Amino acid sequence: MDLGSVVSRLNVLTPPALAEGWDNVGLLVEPSPPHQVHKLLLTNDLTEDVLDEAIDTGANMILSYHPPVFKALKRITQKSWKERLVVKALEKHLAVYSPHTSCDALANGVNDWLARALGPSKSVPLRASTSLTYPGGVGHLLEFRLDPAGNIMSRLNGIQGVSVCTSTARHDGDNGTRVSLSCSQNALVEVLSILSGVPAELYLTGEMSHHDVLDAVAEGRSVVLCEHSNSERGYLQELGGQIRQALEGQVQVVVSQRDRDPLQVV
């Protein structure tokens, strides 16, 4: 399939209009045309090791959940690993695309994927999308009835690749648990401002600053941290299925075997 057709379909599946203003999404590296895509490699983070995997396995395109090019590059040399990524991708005729916060806000995106893993709940975005075409929004507020935080923790530990540490403050036996879901630190900053007046008893996020955790605990909330990329990496399998359907089986879609969280618990 032609690269332009692949990008058009990805833009429909993960609309750039849903991404946060600070983000860098869409087609980030475009080889000279014509460029046919026969194999697409999915990864959470595009590292040099994952790029070599794409080359070794014959991929023509990489979808990196996190944008490998985030801040502006003033030069493209061999000095930094991100510059080397761009150089090598172009040399090897590899396109690079990133959806990032489009998937955070997308209906049936990463937050809904996490929510389903936690069990039946009522789920609404904390800040709804302003687009009439694309439903969704930033963060999710889930409501569980008669489901203590400990049960939620057990379900989280059942998600492959997710590591959990928690600071629990609630001991009042409340018969319901309301959970705020967010997968990135930048998104969480906005979610925390939105949460003013929202009755969430538990924050579930990939990462959170030490002082924000202290504030939450002081307010009687529980905090569950899942490690940033590990709270997203398992979603790639589901996203891959959606992409296969969007591309009508014309492109082989595989998930990286070398992609892993840079922090390892020992």
For 43-100, the pLDDT digits (tens) are 999 999 999 999 999 999 999 999 999 988 999 999 999 999 999 999 999 999 999 9
Place of tokens 């401002």: 193
Question: pLDDT exceeding 70 applies to what percent of the chain?
Answer: 68
Task: Show binding-site residues.
Answer: 66, 104, 228, 232
CA separation, residue 133 to residues 108, 113, 129, 136 (Å):
15, 21, 9, 10
CATH superfamily for 107-231 is NIF3 (NGG1p interacting factor 3)-like (3.40.1390.30)
Q: Which residues are annotated as a binding site for a divalent metal cation?
A: 66, 104, 228, 232
**Domain boundaries in the chain?**
3-100+234-255, 107-231
Q: pTM (2 decimals)?
A: 0.80
What local confidence, expressed as pLDDT, does residue 238 receive? 92
For residue 146, the model assigns a pLDDT of 41
Residue 33: per-residue pLDDT = 94
Domains 3-100+234-255 and 107-231 share a fold: yes
What is 3-100+234-255's CATH number? 3.40.1390.30
Q: What is the pLDDT of residues 101-110, one digit of tens each?
A: 888 888 788 8
Q: Which pLDDT tens digit goes with each residue over 197-253? A: 556 677 777 777 788 888 888 888 777 777 777 778 888 999 999 999 999 999 999
